[in-house]
Structure 1
Amino acid sequence: MVTEKLDQALVRSFPIFQNTPAADLGTMLNHASPRQVSPGSSVFTQGAMADSFYVLLFGRLKVVQTTRDGHQVIVRHVNPGDLFGIAQALARPDYPATAIALTDSRMLFWNAALWSSFLSLSPAFAQNALHAVGQRLQEAHTRIQELTTEEVERRIAHAVLHLAERSGRPAEGGVLLDFPITRQDIAEMTGTTLHTASRIMAAWDTQGLIDSKRKNLLVRDTFALTAIAERVAE
Structure 2
Amino acid sequence: MPNGAKLIATREIEDALMYLPRKGVTDYRRGQVVFDEDQPSKGLHLVVQGRVKVSIPLDDGCQTVVDIFTTDDFFGESSMLGLVPAPQRAVALDNVTLMSWTRLEIEEQIERQPRLGIALLQMLVKRGLDYEERLQGFALDKTPERVVRALLRFADRLGTPVEDGSVKIPALTHQVISEYVGTSREIVTFQMNYLRQKGFLRYSRKGIQIYTDTLSEYLRTRTREIAEWPGGEEKSLGAGERHPSTVG
- Is TM > 0.5 for Structure 1 vs Structure 2? yes
Q: Does 1:139 align with 2:130?
A: yes
- Which residue number corresponds to residue 169 of structure 2? 177
User: Number of residues paired by the alignment?
Assistant: 210
Q: Secondary structure at the match of 1:176?
A: strand
Shift of 1:122: 1.2
The gaps in structure 1 that reach 5 residues or longer are 1-13
Shift of 1:72: 1.2
- Which residue number corresponds to residue 228 of structure 1? 218
- Which residue number corresponds to residue 125 of structure 1? 116
Which runs of 4 or more aligned residues in structure 1 lie more than 6 Å from their structure 2 counterparts after TM superposition?
none
Task: Report if aligned partners of 1:183, 1:198 keep a CA contact under 8 Å in 2.
Answer: yes
- Mapped to 2, the partners of 1:92 and 1:50 lie a distance apart of 12
One-letter code aligned to 2:131: A
TM-score normalised by L of structure 2 = 0.78
Q: Percent identity?
A: 22
The gaps in structure 2 that reach 5 residues or longer are 1-13, 227-248
Q: 1:31-85 deviations in whole A, cap 9, x for unaligned?
A: x331001111011113533323211111111112111222111110111111111
Shift of 1:88: 3.4
Q: Secondary structure at the match of 1:161?
A: helix
Q: Secondary structure at the match of 2:31?
A: coil
- Which residue number corresponds to residue 64 of structure 1? 55
- Mapped to 2, the partners of 1:96 and 1:184 lie a distance apart of 20
One-letter code aligned to 1:228: Y
- Which residue number corresponds to residue 102 of structure 1? 93
Shift of 1:212: 2.3
Q: Secondary structure at the match of 1:212?
A: strand
Shift of 1:213: 3.4
- Which residue number corresponds to residue 49 of structure 1? 40
Which of 180, 187, 200 aligns to 1:189? It is 180
Which of 183, 192, 203 aligns to 1:201? It is 192
- Which residue number corresponds to residue 236 of structure 2? none
- Mapped to 2, the partners of 1:91 and 1:137 lie a distance apart of 19
Task: Report if aligned partners of 1:89, 1:133 keep a CA contact under 8 Å in 2.
Answer: no
Task: Report if aligned partners of 2:28, 2:97 keep a CA contact under 8 Å in 1.
Answer: yes
Shift of 1:93: 3.6
Bigger shift: 115-124 or 144-153?
A: 115-124
Task: Report if aligned partners of 1:17, 1:124 keep a CA contact under 8 Å in 2.
Answer: no
Which of 131, 140, 150 aligns to 1:159? It is 150
Q: Secondary structure at the match of 2:94?
A: coil
Shift of 1:215: 3.9
Q: Secondary structure at the match of 2:54?
A: strand
Shift of 1:163: 0.3
Task: Report if aligned partners of 2:53, 2:93 keep a CA contact under 8 Å in 1.
Answer: yes
Shift of 1:15: 3.4
